[in-house]
């Protein structure tokens, strides 16, 4: 075993884990009917790869190699646990490489099918979407925790407990009947949006994996819309994603500097994507069942209207955030509502609303809260407090371009105050 071989083996394994983990788990779970066992078997296969590939060389098709090993682990586990015809049927399903072509599937994408499985009513609702993100889409607990505004340790504990419950309660892989889809839909949409947002958070989209996450989110939303065309929240989520994707080219200027939404050049927005988003949102509104994603898409629609009117309708945004807060109770929505109301009624009004959130632990490490607080404090003339809030926002921000923008805002504040 050479050092070069070991490095290549580890790099290949990491690449497959990043790009194909969810697909491999979904493939295995679709045949074993056991989500937890599929994940365990795949973990063992990766461990075997790190042991064997440095000695034997990386296989030409590493995904296929991992699947073969994982299937063997599943077969061994079934043999240890069960006897009789049932296990023989299971083993046949696992062993048959053509099993996926045995007939039409109600959900024609294994990852999406497994997401509906993870929304099983026996699994605690607070962990269903995080479980999808980890088990199917390959996110780590820290990334999931950021998306749901909880500490990483807390999220990790929730996921461990959920998997233990799946094992102990014997919750098996079973694609739900069509009549069950709607009851599980909300959790699936939450996971899809978190998946899209993780990809979207790479503003330059120069990371192929992150770009793939954003594009994959839109693709899966389109698929669900084709399966459930009369579900307005699916259309709302699709509209929301498309509005966000439409602004991709305007989020950085020619020098790579961050450009906030209200300063973006509308001419750089993708008109075709906006028009498609508006069409989906209109179709959703005709179904007369408003929900979170429709309202969030409506917020983005108001921002998109600036390309036609030359201004942002802040009163309309404040009203939409009122409705969204009543539905979601989200502190992030409350924060955005405070910013919108500040644009309508003044910084002090918005700041008073933000003050009601300052003890919410979910926002203490959320950079946009501190950036919004800094801007409103500055607008209200509380300059020393604004500088402290800018410092906190800068400390929390990992994107270098956004950090430069915040540093520039803080520097201008100091210049205006005449202080260092």
Rounded to an integer, the average pLDDT of 167-182 is 77
Confidence (pLDDT) at 291: 95
Q: Across the chain, what does the average pLDDT equal?
A: 85
Band of pLDDT at residue 212, cut at 50, 70 and 90: confident
pLDDT higher than threshold 80 for residue 231 = yes
Confidence (pLDDT) at 102: 43
The answer to whether 28 touches 71, Cβ cutoff 8 Å, is yes
Tell me 363's DSSP state: G
| Residue 321, in any domain of the structure | no
| Residue 51, in any domain of the structure | yes
Lowest mean pLDDT among 41-45, 200-204, 278-282, 363-367: 200-204
How many domains, the chain?
1
| Residue 344, in any domain of the structure | no
Confidence (pLDDT) at 415: 64
Confidence (pLDDT) at 206: 56
Confidence (pLDDT) at 76: 76
Residue 86, token pair as written in the block: 């049932």
Rounded to an integer, the average pLDDT of 168-184 is 79
Rounded to two decimals, what is the model's pTM? 0.78
* 320 vs 337: CA distance, rounded Å: 8
| Residue 413, in any domain of the structure | no
Q: Which string of b and e fits 196-210 if b means at least 16 CB within 10 Å?
A: bbbbbebbebeeeeb
Confidence (pLDDT) at 312: 96
pLDDT higher than threshold 80 for residue 3 = no
Give the three-class secondary structure for 258: strand
Distances 239 to 182, 197, 244, 273 between C-alpha atoms, Å: 19, 14, 9, 9
Confidence (pLDDT) at 114: 80
Output the furthest CA–CA distance in the chain (Å, rounded): 83
pLDDT higher than threshold 50 for residue 25 = yes
Domain that residue 20 falls in: 3-103
Which of 90-99, 209-218, 312-321 reaches the highest mean pLDDT?
Answer: 312-321
What pLDDT digit, counting tens, does each position of 81-112 carry? 554 444 334 333 333 433 444 444 566 677 78
What pLDDT digit, counting tens, does each position of 28-82 carry? 876 666 667 788 888 898 889 888 888 888 898 888 899 888 888 888 776 665 5
| Residue 41, in any domain of the structure | yes
| Residue 406, in any domain of the structure | no
Band of pLDDT at residue 259, cut at 50, 70 and 90: very high
Comparison of pLDDT for 306 and 134, the residue scoring more: 306
Rounded to an integer, the average pLDDT of 169-184 is 79
| Residue 65, in any domain of the structure | yes
Confidence (pLDDT) at 87: 38
pLDDT higher than threshold 50 for residue 148 = yes
| Residue 247, in any domain of the structure | no
């Amino acid at each position: 075993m050479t050092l070069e071989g070991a490095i290549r083996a580890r790099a290949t394994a990491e690449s497959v884990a990043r790009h194909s983990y969810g697909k491999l788990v979904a493939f295995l779970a679709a045949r074993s009917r056991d989500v937890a066992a599929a994940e365990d078997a795949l973990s063992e296969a990766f461990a075997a790869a790190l042991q064997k590939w440095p000695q034997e060389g990386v296989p030409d098709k590493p995904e296929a190699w991992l699947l073969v090993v994982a299937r063997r682990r599943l077969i061994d586990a079934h043999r240890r646990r069960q006897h009789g015809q049932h296990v023989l049927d299971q083993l046949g399903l696992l062993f048959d490489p053509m099993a996926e072509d045995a007939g039409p599937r109600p959900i024609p994408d294994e990852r999406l099918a497994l997401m509906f499985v993870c929304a099983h009513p026996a699994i605690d609702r607070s962990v269903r979407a995080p479980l999808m993100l980890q088990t199917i889409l390959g996110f780590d607990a820290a990334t999931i925790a950021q998306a749901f505004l909880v500490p990483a340790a807390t999220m990790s504990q929730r996921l461990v407990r959920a998997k233990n419950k799946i094992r102990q309660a014997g919750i098996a892989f079973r694609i739900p009947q069509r009549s069950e889809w709607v009851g599980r839909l909300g959790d699936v949409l939450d996971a899809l949006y978190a998946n899209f947002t993780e990809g979207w958070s790479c503003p330059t989209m120069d990371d192929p994996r992150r770009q793939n996450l954003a594009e994959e989110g839109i693709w899966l939303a389109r698929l669900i819309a084709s399966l459930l065309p009369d579900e307005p929240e699916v259309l709302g989520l699709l509209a929301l994603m498309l509005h966000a994707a439409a602004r991709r080219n305007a989020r950085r200027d020619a020098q790579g500097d961050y450009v906030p939404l209200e300063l973006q050049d509308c001419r750089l927005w993708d008109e075709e994507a906006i028009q498609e988003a508006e069409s989906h949102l209109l179709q959703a509104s005709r179904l007369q069942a408003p929900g979170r994603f429709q309202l969030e898409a409506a917020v983005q629609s108001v921002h998109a209207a600036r390309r036609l009117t030359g201004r942002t309708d802040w009163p309309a945004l404040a009203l939409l955030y009122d409705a969204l807060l009543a539905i979601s109770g989200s502190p992030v929505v409350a924060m955005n509502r405070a910013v919108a109301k500040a644009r309508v009624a003044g910084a002090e009004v918005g700041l008073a609303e933000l003050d009601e959130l300052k003890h919410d632990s979910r926002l203490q490490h959320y950079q946009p809260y501190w950036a919004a607080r800094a801007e409103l404090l500055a607008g209200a003339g509380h300059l020393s407090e604004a500088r402290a809030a800018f410092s906190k926002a800068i400390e929390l921000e990992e994107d270098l371009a956004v950090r430069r923008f915040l540093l520039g805002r803080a520097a201008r504040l100091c210049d205006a105050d005449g202080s260092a």
